[in-house]
């Protein structure tokens, strides 16, 4: 049978991202076929194979800068039963673009707030004669680490604290998670905004 995909691996990756987004939208775990090529050619309808092939080619070419996972998440937000036949609906890309612009605007604001947060932490470490940022993060008062306390006191912002959690400077216990509900609820969203400043954040490690 003539294959409808080229290169094959890209189609599989797009399929996996679709299933991941589907799992998030439905709140259910997902399973992947053991033999994707067999699943594609024998289990999937001709229409679905074609839709998957077309959108894969778009992600490789004219949509090369589009996050596949985020694109599919927008699809599930727009359609109750989002599936292959909806892949190329222009409303999805429109929602993705508007959301991407918003994320970038927030990221620029977040960058400035992160710089202020770093200045606060470095000053605190210096004034309290703490040997390192790692030790600063391990110090606890009333069951909360110093970064959590400083976040709650508005001394450091949510972007910086989320970055410290992502980089494993801060290890949250159940109590700490309960006192920062905004970050725990919006964690993935904040990570998306942080991703816009990855190069800046890599340099940040050198200062800490």
Q: What's residue 9's pLDDT?
A: 64
Shared domain check, 71 and 167: no
When divided into structural domains, the chain yields a total of 2
CA 47 – CA 69 distance, rounded (Å) = 21
**Of 65 and 6, which is predicted with more confidence?**
65
12 against 206, higher pLDDT = 12
Whether 93 is in a domain gets the answer no
Sign of CA dihedral 158, 193, 173, 117: negative
Q: What are the structure tokens assigned to 28, written together?
A: 């259910």
Average pLDDT, the chain: 87
Mean of pLDDT values over 117-126: 93
Residue 1 lies in a domain: no
Residue among 124, 132, 101 nearest 196 (CA): 101
- What is the secondary structure of 83-141 as a DSSP string? -GGGTT-HHHHHHHHHHHHHHHHHHHHHHHHHHHHHHHHHHHHHHTT-S-HHHHHH-EE
Q: What is the largest CA-CA distance in the chain?
A: 71
Please check the confidence at residue 2 and state whether its pLDDT lies above 50. no
Q: Do 81 and 150 reside in the same domain of the chain?
A: no
| Host domain of residue 51 | 8-88
Give the model confidence (pLDDT) of 34-89 as tens digits: 999 899 989 999 999 999 999 999 998 888 888 899 899 999 999 988 999 999 99
């Amino acid at each position: 049978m003539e294959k409808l995909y080229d290169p094959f691996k890209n189609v599989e990756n797009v399929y996996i991202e679709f299933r991941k987004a589907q799992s998030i939208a439905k709140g259910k775990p997902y399973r992947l076929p053991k033999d994707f090529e067999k699943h594609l050619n024998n289990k999937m309808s001709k229409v679905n194979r074609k839709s998957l092939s077309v959108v894969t080619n778009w992600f490789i070419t004219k949509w090369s800068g589009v996050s596949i996972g985020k694109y599919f998440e927008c699809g599930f937000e727009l359609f109750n039963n989002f599936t292959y036949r909806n892949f190329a609906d222009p409303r999805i890309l429109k929602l993705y673009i508007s959301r991407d612009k918003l994320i970038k605007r927030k990221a620029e604001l977040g960058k400035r707030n992160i710089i202020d947060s770093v200045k606060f932490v470095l000053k605190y470490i210096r004034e309290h004669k703490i040997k390192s940022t790692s030790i600063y993060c391990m110090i606890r008062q009333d069951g909360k680490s110093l970064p959590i306390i400083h976040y709650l006191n508005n001394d450091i912002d949510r972007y910086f604290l989320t970055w410290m959690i992502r980089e494993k400077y801060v290890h949250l216990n159940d109590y700490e998670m309960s006192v920062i509900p905004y970050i725990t609820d919006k964690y993935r969203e904040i990570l998306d905004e942080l991703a816009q400043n990855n190069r800046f954040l890599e340099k940040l490690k050198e200062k800490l």
